[in-house]
Amino acid sequence: MLDANRLRVLVEIAHAGSIAAAAERLSFTPPALSQQLTKLEGEVGCRLVERHRTGTTLTEAGRVLLGYGERVLGELRDAEAAVRALSGASPERLSLGAFASAGKVLLPATLAAFGNQHPQVRVSLADIEPPGGYDLVTSGELDLLLTHRYPGVPLPRAGGLHRERVLVDPLMVVAPTGHPITDHDPSLAELAGQEWICGAPGIHNRVSLESAAAAAGVRVDVVYETRDYEVALALIEAGVGLALIPLSILGAARAGGWVSRPLRDVRLAREIYAVHRPRPPEPVPAMVAVLRGVASRALEPGASGGRAAGGG
């Protein structure tokens, strides 16, 4: 039978990207970690990791074993939590991963409310951009992942994890104050000749914009590339370009300098999901319950402490 501790070595190497980084995370020396990896490779009878000067990559066999290793470690962590719960021990930690803009529109109210209800729980937060993070939930390194999907971008395989949609966040066309869209909901065809602000090719909001434009039979001209919605709004306030921005982001934005409208010919929205292991122990269900409540109010005017979309 494979040694669980050596499986953890493989998982850490895969997640960290190098033996040196994995050794630091596990408080090993790199030679000692390499020795454990060599023993694991001896147990399975094949090479699992290719070593390079800049890091490591998994072989095909390594990738197969990684999936099992992540699930084994996750089950062991769940087992430990379940036994501790039976003995009356209160949960003390919760690890949360979330994408950047969630940290502005959902997490402040969520963490504040959860902290008031569960002051004994220490919450840690990691910045994880989609589609990453699923493997960390599988292995138990993360208790909860907050992630998103934009139109035109497929959802990653959940791999046995529980994935719950907590918010449908409409994408609004945002333009400088005085732009013609102030008076009506525009179509993409009307805006085809405009200068757009969006992420680089392959970034999720760029995929959504170009997919919608292709479906409408038009081409959009992305002149200013940024994935940061605050930068996009700053450019728009200065009279430069227009962009598709989630309504929740606009609700947290400062007033003035821009107007927003929904597209007339297509309704676009990013979907926000909470991802965790099946049958998670407390305090994960409690955190998800708080998150649901905050998300249900996220699109209300002033919900994020800013202003609602639509005004200049």
The CATH number for 21's domain is 1.10.10.10
Question: Is pLDDT at 307 greater than 50 in this prediction?
Answer: no
Residue ranges making up the domain that contains 119? 91-167+270-296
Co-location of 8 and 145 in the same domain: no
Co-location of 183 and 262 in the same domain: yes
Question: Is pLDDT at 79 greater than 90 in this prediction?
Answer: no
With cut-offs at 50, 70 and 90, classify the pLDDT of residue 226. very high
pLDDT at residue number 90: 66
Co-location of 146 and 287 in the same domain: yes
- Mark which of 21, 53, 82 sits at the end of a domain: 82
d(CA 162, CA 170): 24
In a domain, 29, yes or no: yes
d(CA 20, CA 228): 32
Number of domains in the chain: 3
Query: Average pLDDT in the 202-230 region?
Result: 95
In a domain, 309, yes or no: no
In a domain, 312, yes or no: no
Co-location of 160 and 125 in the same domain: yes
Co-location of 224 and 174 in the same domain: yes
Query: Average pLDDT in the 23-32 region?
Result: 90
The pTM for the full model equals 0.82
Question: Is pLDDT at 63 greater than 80 in this prediction?
Answer: yes
Burial class (CB in 10 A: 0-12, 13-18, 19+), 42: exposed
Query: Average pLDDT in the 282-310 region?
Result: 77
Higher pLDDT, 119 or 91: 119
Query: Average pLDDT in the 138-155 region?
Result: 95
d(CA 195, CA 242): 7
Co-location of 132 and 225 in the same domain: no
